[in-house]
């Protein structure tokens, strides 16, 4: 009985997840039929004239996540080095508690702070680049950096503490300083864990919705000439999630093609975050929920 129940509920959970994947795949069929792979590579999204190109939103999602990691990685891993290598146990625990709390701050609260503080700050600080307004990809990226920071600290700390203490002691006994031990012994061994943390953090930032929605500006079709150019970073953009959270989701339901385009965005997002989570966990040894 216990066994049956265990398997039953496990299968139920598995079925729900498969159903989720299936629904998004199935609901998006019309847009694939309508546009084929041009749905992925198309650069124009005008639903009134039934043009559905997802590329600008894929670009937006990738850019804000990229900015978030660039900003958060040094800070997060630095803090992880501090907690794992330098702080005595009580202080370490205190910092970890605070980082856990930071991880719990709701997305909508970040969004509120983004509207109140970050938007104007970006607008003023970067004034000489003459941004049209404060709602930019950069604003969303920096807000996401703060949001993903706890993930990087926690996973980075885990990676460092996964390196056996005996190796550190051996290195110190050879006369290496703490910094040298860290750089030549500990960090190389924790590198995989750091990489995994980055991938998992990347998945987080890709999927974040509400905070991004409130500060990204929600401008469609804003693609740069070149993927690597940064001149769009100070302009408004659209991410996959900000589109999914917008009024279009309400408008689209009932119109098979438009709805398929929305569901297709969900599918793309699932594929991207799924890949990040899968690679992240198989890359590193363990991850934490």
Partner 1 sequence: MKPLAISLAALLVLTAQICAETLRINGSTTVNLPVAESAEILRAEQKMDIQVDTQGGSSGGISMLGDGLVQIGMSSKPVSAEDRAKYPSVQFNEVHVGEDAVALIVSKDVWDGGVRSLTKQQLKEIYEGRITNWKELGGKPQRIAFFNKEPGRGTWEVFVHWVYGSPAAAPKVSFPEVGGNEETRNKVASTRGALSQLSSSWADGKKVFALALKGDDGVPVAPITENIATRKYPLSRPLFLLTKGEPQGAVKVFVDFLLSERGQDLVKKHGYLRLKDLVK
Partner 2 sequence: MRKATDIAVAAVAGLCALIAVGILVGLVSVIARRGGPALSWGFLTEQIRLVGASGGIFWNLVGTLILLATAFTACAPPAIAIALVERVWLQNERGRRALRTFLYTANGVPSIVFGLFGFILFVQWCGWGKSWLAGGLVLAMTMLPTVTVSLIERLKTIPPAYIQAAAALGLSRSKIIWAVLLPQSWGGLLTGSLLALARAAGETAPVMFTATIFAGATLPRGIKESPVLSLPYHIFILAQDSFDPEVGSKLWGAALVLLALVFVLSLIALPMRLKIHEEANL
State in angstroms the smallest separation of the CB of 50 from partner 2. Answer: 21
Instruction: For the CB of residue 115, give the shortest distance to partner 1 in the complex, in Å.
Output: 7
| Cβ nearer to partner 2, comparing 25 with 43 | 25
In angstroms, what is the minimal distance from the CB of 68 to partner 2?
Answer: 14
Q: Between residues 7 and 253, which has the closer beta carbon with respect to partner 1?
A: 253
Looking at the chain, the number of H-run helices and the number of E-run strands are: 15, 2
Strands annotated E in the chain: 45-46, 51-52
Quick count: other Cβ atoms within 10 Å of Cβ 11?
Answer: 11
**Nearer to partner 2 among residue 6 and residue 231 (C-beta):** 6
Q: Which residues between 78 and 137 bind partner 2 (CB under 8 A)?
A: 78-79, 81-83, 85-87, 93, 95-102, 104-109, 111-113, 115-117
Shortest Å, Cβ 30 to partner 1: 17
By CB under 8 A, tell whether 135 contacts partner 1: yes
Rule CB under 8 A: say whether 115 interacts with partner 1: yes
Place of tokens 């930071």: 102
251 lies in the site for partner 1, by CB under 8 A: yes
Q: What is the 3-state secondary structure (H, E, C) of 69-81?
A: HHHHHHHHHHHHH
d(CA 8, CA 194): 37
189 binds, among partner 2, partner 1, none (CB under 5 to 8 A by kind): none
Residue 46 forms beta bridges with which residues?
A: 51
Least separation in angstroms between residue 241's CB and partner 1 is: 15
Cβ atoms of 213 and 110 within 8 Å: the answer is no
Task: Name which of 37 and 49 has its Cβ closer to partner 1.
Answer: 49
Hey, CA dihedral for 74, 78, 84, 89, is it positive or negative?
Answer: negative
**Angstrom distance (rounded) from CA 239 to CA 198:** 20
- The answer to the question of residue 48 lying near partner 1 (CB under 8 A) is yes
Q: How far, rounded to the nearest angstrom, does the alpha carbon of residue 278 sit from its chain's CA centroid?
A: 14
Residue-by-residue DSSP string for 171-216: HHHTT--HHHHIIIIIHHHHHHHHHHHHHHHHHHHHH--HHHHHHS
Min. distance of Cβ 180 from partner 1 in angstroms?
49
List binders of partner 2 among 142-181 (CB under 8 A). Answer: 146, 149-150, 153, 158, 161-162, 177-180
Instruction: Quote the CA–CA distance of 99 and 85 in Å, as a whole number.
Output: 17
What token pair was written down for 100?
């856990």
Give which of partner 1, partner 2, none residue 46 binds (C-beta under 5 to 8 Å, depending on kind): partner 1
Number of residues that bind partner 2 (CB under 8 A): 95
Contacts for 170-177: CB closer than 8 Å, 24+ residues apart: none
210 is a contact residue toward partner 2 (CB under 8 A): yes
Are 137 and 235 in contact, with CB atoms under 8 Å apart? yes
Q: Count residues binding partner 1 (CB under 8 A).
A: 29
The entry of partner 2, partner 1, none that residue 119 binds, CB within 5 to 8 Å by partner kind: partner 1
Q: Which residues bind partner 1 (CB under 8 A)?
A: 44, 46-49, 51, 115, 119-120, 123, 130, 132-135, 217-222, 236, 246-248, 250-251, 253-254
């Amino acid at each position: 009985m216990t066994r049956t129940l265990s398997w039953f509920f496990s299968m139920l959970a598995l079925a729900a997840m498969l159903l989720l994947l299936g629904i998004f795949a199935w609901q998006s069929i019309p847009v694939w039929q309508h546009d084929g792979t041009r749905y992925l590579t198309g650069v124009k999204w005008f639903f009134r004239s039934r043009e559905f190109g997802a590329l600008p939103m894929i670009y937006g999602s990738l850019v804000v996540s990229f900015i978030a990691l660039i900003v958060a990685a040094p800070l997060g891993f630095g803090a992880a080095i501090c907690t794992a290598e330098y702080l005595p146990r009580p202080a370490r625990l205190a910092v970890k508690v605070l980082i856990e709390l930071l991880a719990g701050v709701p997305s909508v609260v970040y969004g509120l702070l983004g509207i109140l503080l970050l938007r104007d700050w970006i607008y003023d600080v970067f004034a000489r680049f003459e941004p049209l307004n404060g709602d930019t990809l950069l604003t969303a990226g920096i807000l996401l950096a703060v949001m993903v920071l706890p993930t990087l600290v926690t996973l980075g700390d885990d990676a460092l503490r996964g390196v056996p203490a005996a190796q550190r002691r051996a290195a110190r006994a050879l006369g290496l300083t703490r910094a040298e031990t860290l750089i030549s012994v500990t960090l190389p061994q924790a590198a995989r864990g750091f990489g995994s943390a980055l991938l998992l953090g990347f998945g987080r930032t890709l999927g974040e919705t509400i905070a991004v929605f409130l500060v990204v500006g929600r401008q469609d079709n804003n693609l740069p000439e070149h993927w690597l150019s940064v001149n769009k970073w100070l302009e408004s953009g659209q991410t996959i999630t900000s589109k999914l959270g917008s009024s279009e989701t309400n408008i689209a339901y009932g119109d098979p093609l438009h709805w398929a385009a929305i569901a297709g965005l969900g599918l793309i997002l699932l594929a991207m975050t799924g890949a990040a989570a899968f690679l992240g966990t198989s890359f590193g040894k363990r991850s934490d929920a």
